[in-house]
């Protein structure tokens, strides 16, 4: 079996939709491989890897596909095409390629690891864990696989298991900045902010250009009320990685805490625009026309949060438009209905305010929210 190496992390890191931000996953790739009896396949394969290293996954996929057509049992081409699909968010295609690579080379820990990542990004925790378990059984001394399994456990809320895996990864490789970063996120989700801060600091000591660590350290600063430090960390993250959408969102949160609503709105605007641009790029790449942008449930929070900033500035119409968009994306968004009701109330539109507050009562049995909503209705003359 061929030797393995990690693809450059900045091109292979993917993010899960966790609270605030995601946790990066590492993909592996085969290095060199030779098929002198079919040099054309190797030529396309090598050019595909060059495109992949430049972040040009479209051309990489095309070349890996040509290599596979010439040599249908080219396992490394399937594996690296799977990596390219995974980076593009096409997880089902990635899983199919990793599975084919495993059929051709059973017991390949790289394919198990990468298929586990794709399953996890596709929200299939059970299959992801099975693949990581198998990879660890085959090669118990690979730190990266423990890190990836730790991410899976974190995603699933199994923090004790996650911490054990991150600790094992660091035991195997004490200089792994990403392992500290990922463990920091697991600590953060457990509200262990001091431990998270220590992990992020160590990650940045080992890898000063790790933008995600700055962004997530900024979240710790928000929790500690150090909003100026938070803004500085998010700004540093964006200088290192201008396309880090989560850093714009996180910095907007810090600005809101400082009552700097116009700056917050500008950051939310940029985050929303970046999501739109990413969607349009994928649409153009696939040669398909989709009349409306496909938004995910987590995108509702962007519009809801921007609406809150507009609301704080007294721009009720813009706030209502954003709350409405949040509701269109996530029809059960109770907070958006409630706060839109207050915006309608503040505008003097009593009928629409009542409608929204009644909708809240239909959607929730949570005592505090129901009590607040009933108080609003009572103030509007509804008993």
Tell me the per-residue pLDDT of 293-335, one tens digit each, with 9 for 90 and over: 455 667 899 999 999 999 999 999 999 999 999 999 999 999 9
| 6: β partners | 28
Q: Hey, how many other C-beta atoms are within 10 angstroms of the C-beta on 370?
A: 13
Distance CA 62, CA 380 (A): 62
Distance CA 138, CA 142 (A): 10
Q: Which of 77, 110, 139 is the last residue of a domain?
A: 139
Number of domains in the chain: 2
Residue by residue, DSSP assigns 150-176 as HHHHHHHT-HHHHHHHHHHHHHH-TT-
Q: Which of 104, 139, 174 is the last residue of a domain?
A: 139
Helix (H) or strand (E) holding 47: helix 39-53
Structure confidence at residue 332 (pLDDT) = 94
Determine phi and psi for 159, rounding to 5 degrees: -70, -35
Structure confidence at residue 277 (pLDDT) = 80
Q: Look at residue 183 and tell me if it is in a domain.
A: no
Q: Look at residue 241 and tell me if it is in a domain.
A: no
Distance CA 64, CA 44 (A): 6
Structure confidence at residue 252 (pLDDT) = 98
Helix (H) or strand (E) holding 349: none
Distance CA 44, CA 39 (A): 9
Computed on alpha carbons and rounded to an integer, the radius of gyration of the chain in Å comes to 24
Q: Look at residue 22 and tell me if it is in a domain.
A: yes
Q: Which of 80, 114, 139 is the last residue of a domain?
A: 139
Which residue is associated with the tokens 């095309």?
Answer: 62
Long-range contacts of 63-67 (CB under 8 A, 24+ apart): 67/41, 67/42
What is the dihedral angle through the alpha carbons of 252, 253, 258, 262, rounded to the nearest 10 degrees? 30
Structure confidence at residue 298 (pLDDT) = 74
Distance CA 263, CA 269 (A): 10
Q: Look at residue 254 and tell me if it is in a domain.
A: no
The domain of 330 spans 301-383
First-to-last alpha carbon distance for the chain, in angstroms, is 74
Q: Where are the beta strands (DSSP E) in the chain?
A: 4-6, 28-30
Q: Domain of 321: which CATH number?
A: 1.25.40.10
Distance of CA 273 to the CA centre of its chain: 17
Structure confidence at residue 39 (pLDDT) = 79
CB 272 within 8 A of CB 324: no
List pLDDT tens digits, range 329-362.
999 999 999 999 999 999 999 999 999 999 999 9
Nearest to 166 by CA among 308, 291, 10, 174: 174
Structure confidence at residue 188 (pLDDT) = 97
Structure confidence at residue 289 (pLDDT) = 44
Secondary structure letter of residue 157 according to DSSP: T
Which residue is associated with the tokens 């989560």?
Answer: 246
Determine phi and psi for 378, rounding to 5 degrees: -65, -40
Q: Look at residue 378 and tell me if it is in a domain.
A: yes
125 CB contacts (<8 Å, ≥6 apart)? 119, 152, 155, 156
Secondary structure letter of residue 8 according to DSSP: P
Q: Look at residue 376 and tell me if it is in a domain.
A: yes
Q: Look at residue 276 and tell me if it is in a domain.
A: no
Distance CA 305, CA 245 (A): 15
Distance CA 333, CA 286 (A): 32
Q: Look at residue 287 and tell me if it is in a domain.
A: no
Nearest to 254 by CA among 216, 213, 223, 222: 222
Structure confidence at residue 292 (pLDDT) = 44
Structure confidence at residue 276 (pLDDT) = 82
Ranges of residues in the chain with a pLDDT under 50 are 1-22, 31-32, 34-36, 287-293
């Amino acid at each position: 079996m061929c030797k393995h190496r990690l693809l450059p992390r900045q091109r292979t890191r993917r993010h899960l939709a966790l609270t605030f931000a995601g946790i990066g996953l590492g993909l592996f790739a085969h290095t060199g491989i030779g098929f002198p009896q079919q040099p054309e396949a190797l030529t396309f394969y090598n050019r595909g890897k060059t495109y992949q290293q430049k972040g040009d996954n479209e051309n990489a996929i095309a070349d890996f596909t040509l290599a596979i057509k010439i040599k249908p049992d080219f396992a490394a081409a399937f594996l690296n095409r799977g990596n390219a699909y995974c980076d593009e968010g096409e997880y089902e295609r990635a899983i199919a390629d990793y599975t084919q690579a495993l059929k051709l080379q059973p017991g390949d820990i790289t394919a198990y690891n990468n298929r586990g990542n794709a399953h996890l990004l596709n929200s299939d925790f059970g299959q992801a864990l099975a693949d990581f378990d198998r990879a660890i059984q085959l090669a118990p001394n690979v730190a990266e696989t423990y890190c990836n399994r730790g991410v899976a456990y974190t995603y699933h809320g199994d923090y004790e298991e996650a911490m054990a895996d991150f600790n094992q990864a660091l035991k195997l490789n004490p200089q792994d900045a990403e392992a500290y970063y990922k463990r920091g996120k697991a600590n953060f989700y457990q509200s262990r902010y001091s431990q998270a801060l220590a992990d992020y600091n160590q990650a940045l000591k080992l890898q000063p250009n790790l933008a995600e660590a700055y962004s997530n350290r900024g979240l710790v600063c928000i929790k500690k009320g150090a909003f100026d430090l938070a803004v500085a960390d998010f700004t540093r993250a964006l200088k290192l990685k201008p396309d880090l959408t989560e850093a714009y969102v996180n910095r907007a949160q810090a600005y809101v805490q400082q009552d700097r609503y116009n700056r917050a709105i500008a950051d939310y605007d940029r985050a929303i625009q970046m999501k739109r641009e990413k969607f349009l790029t994928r649409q153009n790449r696939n040669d398909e026309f989709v009349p409306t942008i496909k938004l995910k449930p987590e995108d509702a929070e962007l519009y809801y949060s921007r609406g809150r900033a507009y609301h704080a500035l007294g721009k009720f119409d813009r706030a209502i438009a954003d709350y409405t968009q949040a509701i269109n994306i996530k029809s059960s968004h109770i907070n958006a209905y409630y706060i839109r009701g207050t915006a309608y109330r503040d505008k003097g539109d009593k009928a629409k305010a009542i409608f929204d507050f009644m909708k809240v009562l239909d959607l929730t049995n949570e005592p505090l929210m129901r009590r607040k909503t009933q108080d609003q209705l009572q103030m509007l003359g509804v008993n």
